[in-house]
Amino acid sequence: ITTLINHKDKPKRSDKTLQAIQRVGQAVNLAVGRFVTVGEAIANENRELKEEMSVACIEARRAGETIAQLTDVASLDHPESDSHITIFTDKTGVVKAARLLLSSVTKVLVLADRIVIKQIITSRNKVLATMEQLEKVSSFQEFVQIFSQFGNEMVEFAHLTGDRQNDLKDEKKKARMAASRAVLEKCTMMLLTASKTCLRHPDCESARINKDGVFHRMRLALEQVIEIVTDSRPNGENEMAPISIYSGIKEFKNKVEGLRENLYFLSKETLSTMLEVILEHTEDFTDSAYTSHEHREHILELSKQAKMELEQLVSVWMQAQNQKTKDLMEDLEVAILKMCQCMNELKRE
């Protein structure tokens, strides 16, 4: 796709160039076809996401076919004079098709990811339910029967979380996941020993405490795996929910403009945190290999300017809270406008 978008128009186009463009277009279409086939299979297996997944697959297939049609230029001696629309006569069409393709492919991946997360959560719930049964058993025969089922469920959970661990990009999360999975593996064997001891010596307090400790440790490890998989925070930690830059900037601007009506409805720390989150998201673009050096520099420059504008805004805002003079309110209005203008430019970049 990048090759097609960056293709430079030249007055003379050799047969080799035309054939190369057609090969790229066909390769994209074939790759999309294979990808969509998998997406449609996933949709058929998961009714709750079937409609969304099917729509995304249809959009992706349509975009792939459009790209193939626009790059069907190898047989044309003079593409520009032919009534057939091609990449040479409709560069915008290729860009639109590429955007639609990337958007729909991303949607398919996100939906597939949701299914994987759901599978892991369902598997965890099965393990927890069986653990509750194991805690309540009163005979060794009953324990062996339930533990056999528990072992199968733990194997399934280990496979699902192992695949997820390999997919994780964040090294810290990957390490935490590996640690949790190792704890679960060790505790499964400890659970067998601790439960057997407790069943043989029901009056032994230390055996019961030991067994309870193993169960507790396993539950903590299971919970940590789910926290990593769902990207949630333990103990209700206050963290802003993941947002897109677009929605983050929109919300930030709404808060800033709200200062015109009420100087006291939010704290300066809230605004600072919101801006920090937005600027963290810009790193996805500044760190990308697809961002040009000039573009990267401009984004960094605007990020720096946004921090300075916020400092100025906060300074005037704090003064206005203490003394509502006409001059200060005018200064506040200017600071609000400059802050919003800076965020608009950042959003545009």
Q: Which two tokens stand for residue 320?
A: 């206005």
SS3 288: coil
The average pLDDT across 109-122 equals: 89
SS3 263: coil
| Of the candidates 122, 217, 112, the residue with the CA atom closest to the CA atom of residue 160 | 122
* Shared domain check, 220 and 255: no
- Cα of first residue to Cα of last residue in the chain, in angstroms, is 21
Q: Total domain count for the chain?
A: 3
Residue at 127 is within a domain: no
48-66 pLDDT tens trace: 888 888 998 999 999 888 8
Write the single-letter amino acid at 67. Answer: I
Cβ contact 197:211 at 8 Å: yes
Distance CA 165, CA 176 (A): 9
* Shared domain check, 174 and 90: no
Q: Which residue has the higher pLDDT, 176 or 88?
A: 176
Q: Which residues contact 104 (CB under 8 A, 6 or more apart)?
A: 56, 57, 59, 60, 63
* Shared domain check, 191 and 152: yes
23-52 pLDDT tens trace: 888 898 999 999 999 999 988 888 888 888
* Shared domain check, 10 and 100: yes
* Shared domain check, 255 and 223: no
Of 200, 218, 236, the last residue of a domain is 236
- The pTM of this model reads 0.56
> Helices (H), strands (E): how many in the chain?
11, 0
Instruction: Check whether 242 has a pLDDT greater than 50.
Output: no
Residue at 125 is within a domain: no
* Shared domain check, 290 and 206: no
Instruction: Check whether 144 has a pLDDT greater than 70.
Output: yes
Q: Which residue has the higher pLDDT, 268 or 252?
A: 252
Dihedral (CA of 131, 136, 139, 142) sign: negative
* Shared domain check, 6 and 105: yes
Residue at 119 is within a domain: no
Residue at 48 is within a domain: yes
Q: Which residue has the higher pLDDT, 89 or 1?
A: 1
Residue at 277 is within a domain: yes
Cβ contact 80:90 at 8 Å: no
Residue at 19 is within a domain: yes
Residue at 50 is within a domain: yes
Domain harbouring 227, CATH code: 1.20.120.230
* Shared domain check, 223 and 141: yes
Q: What is the mean pLDDT of the chain?
A: 84
What per-residue confidence (pLDDT) applies to 234? 47
Domain harbouring 344, CATH code: 1.20.120
Cβ contact 87:73 at 8 Å: yes
* Shared domain check, 256 and 175: no
Of 202, 236, 270, the last residue of a domain is 236
Instruction: Check whether 215 has a pLDDT greater than 60.
Output: yes
* Shared domain check, 220 and 145: yes
What per-residue confidence (pLDDT) applies to 90? 61
Distance CA 100, CA 88 (A): 19
The average pLDDT across 273-299 equals: 83
**What kind and span of H or E run contains 129?**
helix 91-136
Q: Which residues contact 208 (CB under 8 A, 6 or more apart)?
A: 198
Length of the chain: 349
**Residue whose structure tokens are 């206005």:** 320
Backbone φ and ψ of 140, nearest 5°: -65, -35
Q: In the chain, what's the furthest Cα-to-Cα distance?
A: 94
Residue at 158 is within a domain: yes
71-105 pLDDT tens trace: 786 545 444 444 555 656 566 777 788 888 888 88
Distance CA 72, CA 68 (A): 6
* Shared domain check, 155 and 105: no
Of 216, 236, 256, the last residue of a domain is 236
Q: What angle do CA 94, 100, 101 make, to 5 degrees?
A: 85
What per-residue confidence (pLDDT) applies to 158? 95
Domain around 85 = 2-110
Q: Which residues contact 66 (CB under 8 A, 6 or more apart)?
A: 93, 97, 100
Distance CA 332, CA 324 (A): 10
* Shared domain check, 295 and 230: no
Per DSSP, the residues of 60-98 read HHHHHHHHHHHT--TT-SSGGGSSS--TTT-HHHHHHHH
